[in-house]
Structure 1
Amino acid sequence: MTTGVLYIHSAPRALAPHIDWAASGVLDAPARLQWREQPVGRSLVRAELTWRGREDTGARLASAIRGWDDVRFEVIQDPTAAADGARWSCTPELGIYHAATDRAGNTVLGEDRVRACIERAAGSRDPRALEKELSIALGEPWDEDLEIYRHAGEGVRMRWLQRVV
């Protein structure tokens, strides 16, 4: 058994009951998410849920929720004596990201993943190609997208980002 947290950083209000239902189905118990306003966007809500389950529970939660558009979420699964921890992050624009985590919550990149980053960067003429590949492997684009949603409504000053096209 392991424990973890499901963070719904933002979801359209109309999806809240469906997310409750999906989480309840994975957990085999009523999820009872406490929905609050998400001040970053109109008609958005946020919630978090501490859970306990089998070692595949984090992956099952992420799979159950990832199909809805406009839902930003993270699933954090704590490590056990037998398995590393894990983190799944999802944004509408980037899709889902998964990484193993150590006991301190740091992202762990295995040798094969680092080698793949090196190989992808090797053919590039961009001197920062390896840095960009490692940034993606570490989940930095997902962290950048989710940061404002993580802190909104928690008494932290919001930093509004604008996309320039």
Structure 2
Amino acid sequence: MQRRSTQGVVFVHACPKALCQHVDWALERVIGAPVSLSWAEQPAQHGAYRAEVAWTGATGTGAKLVAALKAWPMLRFEVTEEPSQGSDGERMMYVPGHGVFRAPMSANGDLMVSEQQLRHLAATSGSGESFRHGLDALLGAAWDDDLEVYRHAGDGAPISWLHQVV
């Protein structure tokens, strides 16, 4: 049986200096190859550092990367996994106090909400406002709102590539 391959990106938006090497090691364990991220100061949070790395690996690697990183509840990060044959893409975000948000992602990077999710939301929403709040929950608005300032601080940062050993 041939393993399906995909790719994605890990965005570590905010990490205390003392954990940077531990994050490298955690990614290394998942990818199965040496990892040395290029850490830069995160201007959106004093004392925090940021890094981005693109990866290739088997389908499901994105979820494994999230599981490895959420061991440190003070991190802020996102992991994307692009669609591959037979699998939707995903975006997973982690914010302290909110935990992990996970949603399917289209080929152009949009989060996808299913017909059944929308039908349930429409059936259970008592007002337009509760529908809007429910839609925000389905789209991970609380995570996006928190991470947006960190994302802008990293615009233009270089990205390295990690290749999973298969």
- Over 4 Å off, 4+ runs: none
Q: Is the 8 A contact 2:77 2:95 kept in 1?
A: yes
Q: Report the equivalent of 2:160.
A: none
Give the C-alpha shift of residue 153 in structure 1: 4.9
Q: Report the equivalent of 1:130.
A: 131
Normalised to the residue count of structure 1, the TM-score between the two structures is 0.86
Q: Distance in 1 between matches of 2:25 and 2:128?
A: 48
Normalised to the residue count of structure 2, the TM-score between the two structures is 0.85
Once the two structures are superposed, the pairs formed by residues 103-142 of structure 1 within 5 Å of their partners are: 103-122=107-126, 127-142=128-143
Q: Report the equivalent of 2:164.
A: none
Gaps of 5+ in 2: 157-166
SS in 1 for 2:71: coil
Gaps of 5+ in 1: 156-165
Q: CA distance change for structure 1 residues 112 and 20 in 2, over 3 Å: closer, same or farther?
A: same
Give the C-alpha shift of residue 120 in structure 1: 4.4
Q: Report the equivalent of 2:54.
A: 50
Q: Report the equivalent of 1:144.
A: 145
Q: Is the 8 A contact 1:120 1:133 kept in 2?
A: no
Once the two structures are superposed, the pairs formed by residues 54-73 of structure 1 within 5 Å of their partners are: 54-73=58-77
Q: Report the equivalent of 2:100.
A: 96
Q: What is the aligned-residue RMSD (CA, Å)?
A: 1.5
Q: Distance in 1 between matches of 2:86 and 2:113?
A: 18
